[in-house]
Amino acid sequence: MSELEALLQQLIGGEDENAEKAALALAKFGEQALAPLLELANSADSDQRWWALRALAQIPSPQSKAALIEALRDPEINVRQCAALGLRHQPTFDAVPTLLEALASSDKLLSRLAADALIAIGHQAVPDLILAVKNSNPTVRLEAVRALALIGDPRAIPVLYSVLSEDSTFMEYWATEGLDRMGVGITYIQP
């Protein structure tokens, strides 16, 4: 058995500590590890899909990014969470529409991880995030404002100002944080 085969077996062996070591070690194989990991990413076993995505997140490639984007629609929430986290490590503009869908998840962790991936994408995601702030879903709006605040793109200044008048402490916090980070400090006193 080759070292690559042994690491793949360790990855799906059911021992989380060993699987994590294998996921990190598989990265050194790069393109050579892609085919078997992509196959595992389509396994019927959600645990195998999760670990395959964990390993793919360590191998920068268009195939890895595509698999992570596809996994954002997996039926298992933990697999979708892993995919969103992986896209934070391998940001790609191609993931923006699917990450925006993930912001609307009823799972708060997935929403937060999707927003973190959008933050990693950065300035390219700003126009879509500005539109997301106009969404009626409160979770989407909050995570979009948080993302805009942490990206710090001046194009977001008007929308950050607009949410200051809303009756939401969290929205106000992130809008103020974003404006402060961009050097547009304000003092807001509600009449």
Per-residue model confidence as pLDDT tens digits over 95-137: 999 999 999 999 999 999 999 999 999 999 999 999 999 877 8
Do residue 155 and residue 189 come from a single domain? yes
Residues 115 and 25: their CA atoms lie apart, in Å, by: 28
Residues 10 and 174: their CA atoms lie apart, in Å, by: 42
Do residue 113 and residue 84 come from a single domain? no
Q: Which domain holds residue 23?
A: 1-90
pTM value is: 0.90
Do residue 72 and residue 40 come from a single domain? yes
User: How confident is the model at residue 186, as a pLDDT?
Assistant: 58
Do residue 129 and residue 177 come from a single domain? yes
User: Number of folded domains in the chain?
Assistant: 2
Cα 172 from chain centroid (whole Å):
23
Radius of gyration for the alpha carbons in the chain, expressed in angstroms and rounded: 19
Do residue 76 and residue 102 come from a single domain? no
In angstroms, how far apart are the furthest CA atoms of the chain?
72
Do residue 98 and residue 178 come from a single domain? yes
Do residue 85 and residue 97 come from a single domain? no
Terminal alpha carbon distance of the chain: 72
| DSSP one-letter code for 146 | H
Mean pLDDT of the 27-52 span: 93
Residues 43 and 49: their CA atoms lie apart, in Å, by: 6
* Domain end call among 51, 69, 90: 90
User: How confident is the model at residue 14, as a pLDDT?
Assistant: 87
Identify the CATH number of the domain in which residue 44 sits.
1.25.10.10
Q: How many CA atoms lie within 13 A of 151 on its CB side?
A: 28
Q: Is the dihedral of CA 93, 88, 108, 45 positive or negative?
A: positive
Q: Name residues whose C-beta falls within 8 Å of residue 2's C-beta, 6 or more positions apart in sequence.
A: none
Do residue 34 and residue 121 come from a single domain? no
Residues 50 and 54: their CA atoms lie apart, in Å, by: 6
* Domain end call among 67, 90, 113: 90
* Domain end call among 45, 75, 90: 90
Residues 159 and 139: their CA atoms lie apart, in Å, by: 16
Mean pLDDT of the 172-176 span: 92
Do residue 71 and residue 97 come from a single domain? no
Do residue 97 and residue 179 come from a single domain? yes
Phi, psi of 103 (to 5 degrees): -60, -30
Mean pLDDT of the 18-31 span: 91
The DSSP secondary structure of 176-189, one letter per residue, reads HHHHHHTT------
Do residue 67 and residue 143 come from a single domain? no
77-89 vs 46-56: helix axis angle to the nearest 10? Answer: 0
The model's pLDDT over 146-164, given as tens digits with 9 standing for 90+, comes to 999 999 999 999 999 999 8
Share of the chain above pLDDT 70, in %: 96
Specify whether the CB–CB gap between 55 and 11 falls below 8 A: yes
